[in-house]
Structure 1
């Protein structure tokens, strides 16, 4: 009995250390495309604007905007948002931590962004830091676009 108590205590202490351990995970680096890649539209000779007025951009204009690189404890998150007019049509990850929770959260965050068309989305349980970094990078891209 005298040996059982220290063995149980040491086992419990060892379990706590293992339970609290979080491995350091390096984030994957992705080659970044040129900033603000926008397809060039050919000039139209039929469009005339009166002096002193400006023409509004076409509703189907495609614009790609990179969000800010947001660093957290698990790595860096950076998104690239594709806008068609004022609609968010695609979100791609330029940087995402190479961990299970981050890789699981990525598609869910993109899906919710496409549904809400804004950065006002919920965080994914188990990937809170990645979700918060995603939201910050997404909001930076939306702000940079001017929406």
Structure 2
């Protein structure tokens, strides 16, 4: 009986840290490449500047005709206006939430950013592979990364929805 009270008190004291434990950012949570999705106004200011590729006329030297119509400033501006970023929906998986943002120039996928993803080793290893596959395939029709099946499915679903939303 003399030992029961100290044993009980020490047992409770030993369990308090376990009850209060919460994982830090390094052990769970989410990965976020982009703090917030870009607004349309930010996307317009981020567009690359155009430069005229027409040769300058000096003296009697005239540019040679190549048979192709020269690209005008207006056509270049229209092509740049087609560069846009579209965020896919946040897809809940068994491992966590996955959301991507796709950047398209015309119909070509030029970049994919992960807005949200589970913070786990398999996911961190899978994300670059998924991005590389999607850029190569130019679609969401990509293979699942072994060991990160749930993340791969969420990535694929969010990417497909972003691509569909861009059309």
> Structure 1 residues 35, 73: closer, same or farther in 2, change over 3 A?
farther
Who wins on radius of gyration, i.e. which is larger? 2
Root mean square deviation of aligned Cα: 2.7
CA distance, structure 1, for counterparts of residue 83 and residue 138 of structure 2: 15
CA–CA distance in structure 2, aligned partners of residues 121 and 110 of structure 1: 9
Contact 1:25 1:74 in 2 (8 A): no
Question: 2:151 matched to which residue of 1?
Answer: 130
Give 2:112's match in structure 1, choosing from 91, 116, 133: 91
Number of aligned residue pairs: give it. 113
Post-superposition shift, 1:39?
A: 1.1
Alignment gaps of 5+ in structure 2: 1-22, 48-72
Give the structure 2 partner of residue 25 of structure 1.
28
1:71 Cα deviation from its structure 2 partner: 1.1
TM-score, reference length from structure 1 = 0.67
Q: Secondary structure at the match of 1:39?
A: helix
TM-score (norm 2): 0.59
Instruction: Determine if the alignment matches structure 1 residue 69 to structure 2 residue 90.
Output: yes
SS of aligned partner of 1:58: helix
What's the CA shift for 1:33? 2.2
Q: If each structure's helix is expressed as a fraction of its own residues, which one has the higher value? A: 2
